[in-house]
Structure 1
Amino acid sequence: MIGKLGQVMVYVNDQDAARRFWTEKLGFEVIAEEDNGQGFRWIEVAPSKAAETSIVLHNKAFIAQMEPDMNLGTPSLMFVTDRLEQLHGDLADKNVKVGDIVPMPTGRVFNFADDEDNYFAVMEKL
């Protein structure tokens, strides 16, 4: 039986730039980094080492070459915070593209984009 979501694969054009985005702008930590020396490299990031779910940054071109039929689109991820307005302001101050804070039936949300214009969302934890 499946007990939890462990990792989410995000396929990017520039892994080093993506690592900088997630660590420097979002405050995530690098959990692991692997490179087989033959082009297969991945960088695992998460909000903390104790997080149950992490993001694995893969080289989009390399994965497309290995698995031509694989869907390399950006997953729709919803993060959760108890400091929505502070996070929104912090990201805007770091020149991250952020959307407006919008009220929803489940709480307020906003979206943000990484440096490759992949969009993600953040929901306020009530």
Structure 2
Amino acid sequence: MINKIGKVTVYVNDQAQAKDFWLTKIGFVLKAEQPMGPNATWLEVGPSESEFTTLVLYPKADMLQQNPSAVSQPSVLFSTTDIDTAYEGMKNNGVEVGELMKMPYGSMFTFKDQDGNEYLLREDK
């Protein structure tokens, strides 16, 4: 049986820019970085050292050659326990963020990475 989500692949135009975005602007940590063939790197980032689930930052150009139908917009929802601090922190770091929506069923906002991929951050208490 499946008991957790291990990895989510995000297809990126430039791994170095993606790595900088997730580590510097979002505050993730580097979980893995190792050569994957002569011209590629396996790159994983995550919210903390102890978090099991990671994002794999995979070169979009490589995947387009391997399996063009696999490359699409990621649909990833992240969680936080303090939406206001996360929103202000991302804005202060220069991340493109959408409107902070405070709804009866929860607070959330969208943000975009360096390639324009959109994500949702939702407060879970």
TM class, shorter-length: over 0.9
1:85 to 2:84 alignment: yes
By how many angstroms is 1:35 displaced? 1.4
For residues 1-126 of structure 1, what are the structure 2 equivalents within 5 Å?
A: 1-68=1-68, 70-126=69-125
Gaps of 5+ in 1: none
What TM-score does the superposition give when structure 2 sets the normalisation length?
0.93
Q: Secondary structure at the match of 1:2?
A: coil
Rounded Cα–Cα distance in structure 1 between residues aligned with 2:30 and 2:97: 23
Query: CA–CA distance in 1 between the matches of 2:67 and 2:34?
Result: 19
Q: Matches of 1:90 and 1:8 in 2, distance apart?
A: 23
The alpha-carbon deviation at position 65 of structure 1 amounts to 1.1
Name segments (4+ residues, structure 1) moved above 3 Å.
none
Task: State the SS of the aligned residue for 2:111.
Answer: strand
Counterparts of 1:92 and 1:57, CA distance in 2: 22
Aligned-residue offset at 1:27: 0.6
Which ranges in structure 2 are unaligned for 5 or more consecutive residues? none
CA separation of 1:107 and 1:118: change in aligned 2, threshold 3 A: same
Instruction: Tell whether the 8 Å contact from 2:36 to 2:42 is kept in structure 1 after alignment.
Output: no
Shift of 1:3: 1.1
Identity %: 38
Q: Deviations over 1:17-52 (max 9, x none)?
A: 000000001110011012134223221000112102
Q: CA deviation at 1:66?
A: 2.0
**Residues 106, 52 of structure 1: alpha-carbon distance in 2 compared, 3 angstrom cutoff:** farther
TM-score (normalised: structure 1)? 0.92
Contact persistence 1:80–1:125 (CA under 8 A): yes
CA distance in 1, matches of 2:38, 2:73: 24
